[in-house]
Structure formats: structure tokens, C-alpha cells
Homo-oligomer: A and B are copies of this chain.
């Protein structure tokens, strides 16, 4: 069965990560995965939330948004509606958790890094691209903190990237685009680390429950994609952050 853009089932869409696109931000990148485009900025501020005072740990948090016409049909602007959708809040909670899962926050006890992930064009996979690009922007911001003398030690234990896998008409496919995603029976989003472990595994039966065998198959395929993303992250950061922060 052919995929809309001619890919093989286990083929990732083309991925590029362009660093430094927003000059004001401590870290920033534009990640493009197929037609999906997410602009990520990382803002480091000398403040921490109240619940972390005197714990010796800094904070990492994320916000997510979609420009109104990132989607096929125009979506109402959340700022105009006066509230963020449940989907938005769910995604930004995921991004924050995923990145905190690979960072040693005791390296920057006085700082908060906020990742803003804004989708310029949406063609599925935006939450995963936000995690992948978010890790790059975070690394850049942490490098800047280090340069400014506000960070000690090695803050990044591993790299983190996100990928989706789905079951479409019985077939397991890597990195779904919108046309595939909207007809998938099962949708699995995985945040994996460069060390081969998982930070988040979120599988949902959109149409039909799945069994453990299918889950294992999807996880295996996810790992293939994650290795490719990890390579793209390495390339984007080369020469921009301390070399020892980038796990081999």
C-alpha cells in the first residue's frame, strides 16, 4: 500500500533543524519534518517557581501553540477565545515532562528555561517535532547559561526526541502525516532517549484496541525513527554546544 508521499512504511519524512532563527532568544530552532514546521524558542530567566525554592533545582517548562492557519481549515485563535484547548494543554505538559526527564536540573539551580513551541505549518506529528526541536533549543539555551556563568556541570544526561507510529489499515507506519493520522486505528507517540530508553510512551486506540504484540512492533519501529532524529539533532548542534554534552 503506497503512502501519500511515496515513502516506505518505515521511512521518516525529511527532517531539518535550523538553529538560531530568533535572535532575541537564548536558544531557538526551526524544525521541519515533511510539511510540518515548528518554531521553538528557549528562554532562560533567572527565576524559579515557588515549589522549587531551596531545593537546588532549576525548572524547565513548555508552552505550545498553533498559528490559526497552520491547519487545513483556519482554527480560531486561542488568545481571542480566551482559553487554551485541552489538546494544547495536554501537549505542552507532555513536552515539559519529556525534556525534564533527560536533564539534571541541579546544574542551573536559579534558572527556568521556557520552551515555546509554535506550529507554523501542521501536517501531523507536531507534538513529536516539538520535543525533538525543543531538546535542541534547550541545549542551546543551556550553553548560553554556561557561557554567562549561570550553569555548572553537565546538564544533559541524554538526548530526547519524539516520534509517532501508527497502525493504518492494518499496517504499521512510521511518522504519519495528516492524511494517514486521520485514518489511523492506533496512534503511538514515543519520546525516546539517545541511550535507547523511553521517557514517554503514549498509545491510543483511536478505532480498535491493540494487543501487546502490536505494541512491541510499533516500539521497534519507533526506535528506528528515533535514531535518525538523534542524528539530525547532533548535526544541528555540532559546534554550538560543548561537545561533551552530545552523547555519542
Contact = CB atoms under 8 A, between A and B. Distances in A.
A215 B195 contact: no
A28 B196 contact: no
A196 B211 CA distance: 7
Given A68-B43, A74-B43, A89-B89, A198 B211 contact: yes
B97 A87 contact: no
Contacts of A201: 201-203, 215
What secondary structure prevails in chain A residues at the interface with B? Answer: mixed
Contact of A24 (B88, B121, B198): B121
A218 to B, nearest CB: 10
A88 B83 CA distance: 14
Interface stretch (A9-17, A112-120, A168-176, A231-239): A112-120
Contacts of A72: 24
Sort chain A's interface into a size bin: 35 or more
A65 B77 contact: yes
Nearest to A27: B69
Interface string A75-97: 00111101110111110110001
Interface string A26-49: 001000000100010101010000
B101 A93 contact: no
A84 B216 CA distance: 35
B69 A101 contact: no
Contacts of A246: none
B212 A198 contact: yes
Contacts of A43: 68-69, 74
B83 A86 contact: no
Interface of A: 21-25, 28, 35, 39, 41, 43, 45, 63, 65, 67-72, 74, 77-80, 82-84, 86-90, 92-93, 97, 101-102, 114, 116, 118, 120-121, 158, 193, 195-207, 209-212, 215-216, 219
Report, nearest first, the 9 A-B pairs whose CB atoms are least far apart: A86-B89, A197-B209, A78-B79, A41-B69, A43-B74, A201-B203, A79-B79, A90-B90, A25-B69
